Amino acid sequence: MLFKIGEYIRLERKQRKMSQSALAKLLGMSRSTISQIETGTVQDIGVRKLIRILEVLDFELRVRPAGSPPTLDELREDDDLL
């Protein structure tokens, strides 16, 4: 799941023509942390830090039951990113 969130972060950052370094500086984080989040290799990230990243990119974190099918809105959002 963190890998998928990282993909969304990377795609949005690139769409905004923002470097990892610029995003990291804006958030007060290291560029390597942003890279690890985007690739899903980060060892540990706090929820507050993740929410801060998502807010800067105008995303929100949603919770739904595991295994439930995606909503129509989620499918449309996935299409918009492609």
Give the start-to-end residue ranges of the domains of the chain.
Answer: 2-81
pLDDT bucket at 20, cuts 50 / 70 / 90: very high
Looking at every residue in the chain, the average pLDDT score rounds to 89
Q: Determine the pLDDT at residue 51.
A: 93
- Token readout for 59 is 């995303």
CB 28 within 8 Å of CB 2: no
Q: If you classify domain 2-81 with CATH, what class do you get?
A: mainly alpha
What value does the mean pLDDT take over residues 5-16?
95
Q: Phi-psi bin for 17: left (phi > 0), alpha (psi -120 to 50), beta?
A: left
Task: Determine the residue type at 4.
Answer: K
52 vs 44 pLDDT, higher one = 52
The Cα–Cα gap between 34 and 75 comes to 26
Q: What is the pLDDT of residue 32?
A: 95
